[in-house]
Amino acid sequence: MSIISLPPRCDRAAAEALLPEMIAALGSGPLAIDARGCTQIGQVMLQILVSARRTGEGAVIQASPMLRDTARRLGLEPELFDDAPVVATTRADIKGADA
All residue ranges of the chain with pLDDT < 50 are: 99
Residue 18: the pLDDT is: 93
Alpha helices in the chain (DSSP H): 12-26, 43-54, 65-74, 77-80, 91-98
- CB-based contact 84:78 (threshold 8 Å): yes
Q: Which domains does the chain have, with CATH numbers?
A: 2-98 (3.30.750)
- Determine if the pTM surpasses 0.75: yes
Residue 57: the pLDDT is: 85
